[in-house]
């Protein structure tokens, strides 16, 4: 593959969890009014242009553009190396409006060079300011990894400045790079449209090739003024970053940011630190880095927006706040230390045996628990919770097999919901786990229960060490056998939803000593026990 092919697509490389360079080119509405800028558009962009205050201060991305966070550390290092090596790099596409120069295509390429110039790969001053000091640990780790890789394979921007200034002690392998440091440039193509609508059409047409914007991303981008899109972005970045809600009144902006942060923390704290599961202290919804499509699905499901399609924009913020409050309310049914929370353990309900988060399982469980609440069946759930959760742990491959047979995405959610509700009904009827297996397995969709097949996720090659999924599976077994359990219902307890309960109530003479305390779920302590 040539360098040209390597950098032909901004979205190529890491589909998720790339280095976050989003802070390096500010966002702006294409329709933003600004004073006209004199002079003729340039046909190239050099390193000098990028570090020039006048050019850089007017550089913008359209406010609807995807987050600039798809490239891996290696791809960023390769981009910088290719630029300094004089390799052929595809032209960037710009559109000019007044004093602003909008990047229609090439944001990752330019941002990689800006990250090198500013030594900010998502963790330094520009990023810290942009994200209001809220930078996930995954982002910090990727930034440091990128910096170390670039400095080792290319060299820092500061080192090139020193070599250019002194021209002394220049390593032979850096001579060509140093020459290109001052002379190489990005070729620029300009969008000819004079109006913002034309520029936006050009953006979507250009970014459909060669790697199309997927369906969910396209809905979020085109529906950026809709309540579900704004709420999803607020949750995805914990209420920080670019303020897609910035046109709302200030007091409503603050509410949206507070709700976004609260929901983000409920979903993604504590962050996952290892590839394998080594602790039961895992986040409810997996890795919170670049998870916007999942959050969008969650927001739409809770708020009853079919397929994420909305007709009208949110003009004042009320609908966005309503959407966020409903999401928070639904989350409180399954996690947090809110009094009504069942405190579902994510490793039981939302993760595979190999330690991978399953978004569709999360959405299915959220729906089932909502129906239990509407039917006032939480107490019935607690009656059988211990046995129900042991059943789910013993048949951890069930969700994966359902997805395999029913299809990925929303197609498999109804079947997972039916699986959960059928099993609960059988436990409520007093059946043993063996009888539940026979009853539920009688449905053709769940016949795998009667002849279970192991799900292989590691290929067939022999390995020198255990894979991360095998390590996670070992921990899952340990969790089932010796995990912390609720003293009231017997279900597993997650660190985000812990309540301290009096074994003997104070009204019945119990004291506040450690011997009279037990760990419980919030709902079990506040309601079920009573």
> Which DSSP state fits 485?
B
Q: What is the pLDDT of residue 403?
A: 93
For 65, the 3-state DSSP assignment is coil
Would you place residue 464 in the very low, low, confident or very high pLDDT band (cuts 50, 70, 90)?
low
Average pLDDT over residues 148-175: 89
CA dist., res. 363 & res. 413, Å (int) = 7
Helix (H) or strand (E) holding 112: helix 107-118
- pTM for this entry: 0.78
Q: What is the pLDDT of residues 119-157, one digit of tens each?
A: 999 999 999 999 988 888 889 999 999 999 999 999 999
Q: What is the pLDDT of residues 430-444, one digit of tens each?
A: 999 999 999 999 999
Would you place residue 468 in the very low, low, confident or very high pLDDT band (cuts 50, 70, 90)?
low
Would you place residue 276 in the very low, low, confident or very high pLDDT band (cuts 50, 70, 90)?
low
Q: Which residue has the higher pLDDT, 68 or 481?
A: 68
CA dist., res. 54 & res. 58, Å (int) = 7
Mean of per-residue pLDDT scores for the chain: 86
343 and 335 Cβ atoms separated by less than 8 Å? yes
Q: What is the pLDDT of residues 366-383, one digit of tens each?
A: 999 999 999 999 999 999
Q: What is the pLDDT of residue 204?
A: 74
Average pLDDT over residues 441-465: 69
Q: What is the pLDDT of residue 113?
A: 95
229 and 296 Cβ atoms separated by less than 8 Å? yes
> Which DSSP state fits 526?
I
| pLDDT above 70 as % of the chain | 87
Q: What is the pLDDT of residue 452?
A: 58
Q: What is the pLDDT of residue 2?
A: 42
CB-count exposure of residue 470 (10 Å: 0-12, 13-18, 19+): middle
Q: Which residue has the higher pLDDT, 105 or 210?
A: 105
Is pLDDT above 80 for 184?
yes
Is pLDDT above 70 for 108?
yes
Q: What is the pLDDT of residues 11-52, one digit of tens each?
A: 333 334 689 999 999 998 887 766 655 555 678 898 988 988
Would you place residue 273 in the very low, low, confident or very high pLDDT band (cuts 50, 70, 90)?
confident
Is pLDDT above 90 for 506?
no
Q: What is the pLDDT of residues 308-323, one digit of tens each?
A: 888 899 999 999 999 9
Would you place residue 89 in the very low, low, confident or very high pLDDT band (cuts 50, 70, 90)?
confident
Q: Which residue has the higher pLDDT, 483 or 375?
A: 375
Q: What is the pLDDT of residue 390?
A: 94
Beta bridge pairs of residue 100: 97
Q: What is the pLDDT of residues 95-105, one digit of tens each?
A: 888 888 999 88
**Residue 466: other Cβ atoms inside 10 A:** 13
Q: What is the pLDDT of residue 38?
A: 54
Is pLDDT above 90 for 111?
yes
Q: What is the pLDDT of residue 222?
A: 79
For 35-49, 204-218, 300-314, 411-425, which range has the lowest pLDDT when averaged over its residues? 204-218
DSSP state string for 283-350: -TTS--SS-HHHHHHHHHHHHT-GGG--SS--SSSHHHHHHHHHHHHHHHHHSSS-TT-----HHHHT
Q: What is the pLDDT of residue 155?
A: 93
Q: What is the pLDDT of residues 243-268, one digit of tens each?
A: 999 999 999 999 999 999 999 999 99
Q: What is the pLDDT of residues 65-87, one digit of tens each?
A: 888 888 999 999 999 999 999 88
CA dist., res. 418 & res. 334, Å (int) = 18
* Structure token pair of residue 500: 């301290």
| pLDDT above 90 as % of the chain | 55
Q: Which residue has the higher pLDDT, 429 or 4?
A: 429
354 and 347 Cβ atoms separated by less than 8 Å? no
Give me Rg for the CA atoms of the chain.
27
């Amino acid at each position: 593959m040539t360098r040209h092919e390597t950098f032909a697509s901004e979205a190529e490389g890491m589909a998720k969890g790339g280095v976050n360079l989003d802070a390096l080119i500010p966002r702006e509405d294409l329709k933003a009014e600004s004073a006209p800028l004199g002079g003729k558009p340039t046909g190239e962009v050099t390193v000098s242009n990028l570090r020039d205050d006048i050019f850089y201060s007017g550089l913008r991305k359209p406010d609807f553009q995807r987050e600039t966070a798809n490239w891996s550390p290696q791809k960023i290092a390769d981009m910088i190396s290719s630029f300094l090596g004089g390799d052929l790099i595809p032209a960037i596409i710009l559109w000019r409006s007044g004093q602003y120069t909008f990047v229609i295509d090439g944001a990752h390429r330019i941002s990689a060079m800006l990250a090198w110039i500013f030594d900010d790969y998502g963790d330094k001053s520009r990023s810290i300011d942009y994200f209001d000091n809220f930078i996930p640990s995954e982002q910090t780790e990727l930034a440091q990894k990128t910096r170390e890789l670039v400095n080792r394979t290319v060299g820092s921007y500061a080192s090139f400045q020193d070599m250019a200034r002194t021209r002394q002690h220049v390593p032979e392998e850096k001579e060509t790079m140093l020459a290109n440091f001052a002379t190489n440039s990005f070729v620029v193509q300009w969008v000819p449209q004079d109006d913002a609508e034309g520029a936006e059409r050009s953006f979507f047409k250009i970014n459909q090739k060669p790697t199309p914007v997927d369906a969910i991303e396209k809905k979020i981008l085109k529906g950026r003024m809709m309540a579900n899109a704004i709420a999803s972005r607020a949750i995805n970045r914990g209420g920080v970053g670019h303020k897609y809600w910035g046109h709302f009144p200030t007091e409503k902006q603050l509410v949206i940011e507070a709700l976004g942060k609260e929901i983000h923390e409920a979903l993604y704290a504590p962050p996952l630190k290892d590839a394998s599961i080594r602790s039961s202290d895992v986040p409810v919804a997996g890795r919170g880095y670049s998870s916007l499509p999942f959050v969008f699905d969650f927001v739409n499901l809770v708020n009853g927006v079919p397929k994420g399609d909305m007709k009208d924009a949110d003009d004042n913020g009320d609908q966005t706040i309503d959407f966020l409050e409903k999401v928070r309310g639904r989350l409180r049914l399954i996690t947090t230390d809110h009094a009504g929370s069942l405190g579902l353990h994510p490793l039981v309900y939302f993760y595979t045996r190999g330690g991978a988060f399953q978004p569709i399982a999360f959405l299915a469980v959220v729906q089932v628990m909502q129906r239990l609440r509407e039917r006032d069946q939480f107490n019935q759930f607690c009656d059988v919770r211990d046995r129900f959760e042991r059943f789910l742990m013993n048949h951890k491959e069930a969700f994966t097999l359902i997805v395999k047979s029913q299809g990925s995405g929303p197609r498999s959610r109804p079947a997972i919901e039916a699986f959960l509700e059928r099993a609960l009904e059988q436990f409520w009827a007093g059946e043993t786990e063996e009888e539940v297996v026979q009853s539920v397995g009688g449905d053709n969709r769940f016949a795998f229960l009667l002849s279970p097949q192991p799900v292989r996720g590691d290929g067939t090659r022999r390995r020198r060490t255990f894979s991360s999924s095998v390590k996670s599976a070992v921990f899952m077994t340990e969790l089932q056998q010796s995990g912390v359990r609720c003293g009231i219902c017997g279900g597993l307890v997650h660190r985000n939803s812990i309540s301290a309960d009096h074994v003997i109530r104070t009204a019945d003479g119990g004291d506040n000593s450690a011997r009279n305390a037990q760990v419980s779920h919030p709902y079990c302590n506040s309601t079920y026990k009573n």
